[in-house]
Amino acid sequence: MIHDVRAGLLLALCGFAILSVGDAILKSIEGEWTAIAAGALRYTIGAVALSAILLAKEGPTGFKPRNPWLQVFRGVSMGISTACFFSAIFVMPLAEATALIFIAPILTALLSKPLLGEHVRSAVWIASVIALVGVAMVLRPNLLTLGWQAVLPLGAALFFSLTVIANRASAGTGSAFSMQAYMAMFAAPVLVLFAVGGYFSGIEQLKFGWPPIDVVAKCVTVAVTASTAHYLVYLGTTKAGAATIAPMTYVQLLVAIILGWFVFGDAPDAMTLAGAAVIVLGGLYLWRDGRKLSSTQAR
């Protein structure tokens, strides 16, 4: 049992770290192609590959979800979250964008009552206040220098939390692999529509041509690394449990800070690091309270 927990934690740790590596690869496309077009290409590649594997594993019946509209909602939410986050890492330091998206677990807890009918504990409100203080600390310089663009990672966090809630609602309606494939299949068209809309919007920064070969290679790499990362996290969850591996997600922030600093020269200032720490503190507080509640209910 102890061995399984340790193995699960290690698998989850590797998975979350790989996600930040993929974000860094996407950020390196900055200046060569638009963020949303890169996201559209990455998810299109993923959707085609996952669909082919799903067909081989489960046959045509694998493409018949029990609740189609719920799967559409999952994909659309993930597509919007991806568009916001990819745009954010193109206009913000990687560490700051990653730090801000970590308010997603708290938004999920807050939205679980109106959307799922779950009870919102007092710990959720305390963690929300803590996280908002951290967000204000991280955004402090960017509200003036970036303007509305500074809210992009917050939008990514909001729609990611909606994706998590939809994941909860769809639990048990299909295999873990089919759930991943459905998400990619419905997220890809959303990102393609955003990319095409941006191209015809007349905004120069959103126009794009055929991608250079290195951009295609990077998007393929990210599609592979992201799928691998999600699979490792899934394996870690099966071995150690979702609540146990939850804190491992914060390795993304550590990896993002390191890569942003050494690869892109985005050295975070003391206030950014402090704000990131406060956000993590809020998330860990919420996780610890949830663990205590689960232990009490199990007795």
Q: What is the pLDDT along the chain (299 residues), one digit of tens a residue?
A: 556 767 877 888 898 899 899 999 988 998 899 989 999 999 999 999 999 999 999 999 989 888 899 999 999 999 999 999 988 888 888 887 888 887 887 788 788 778 877 776 787 788 778 877 887 787 775 555 656 677 888 899 899 889 888 887 887 788 878 888 898 999 999 999 999 998 998 888 888 999 999 999 999 999 899 888 878 887 777 677 665 666 677 788 888 888 988 888 888 888 888 888 888 888 788 777 766 655 565 55
Sign (positive or negative) of CA dihedral 23, 26, 28, 30: negative
Token digits of residue 52: 């082919």
DSSP bridge partners of 30: 33
Cα–Cα distance, 187 to 185 (Å, whole number): 6
Cα–Cα distance, 33 to 206 (Å, whole number): 9
**Residue 279's CB: how many other CB atoms inside 10 A?**
28
Angle between helices 152-169 and 104-116 (to 10 degrees): 50
Specify the residue for token string 């804190």. Answer: 247
Cβ-proximal residues to 67 (8 Å cutoff; 6+ apart), any chain: 170, 173
**Residue 148 per-residue DSSP state:** G
**Residue 297 per-residue DSSP state:** H
Total residues belonging to the chain: 299
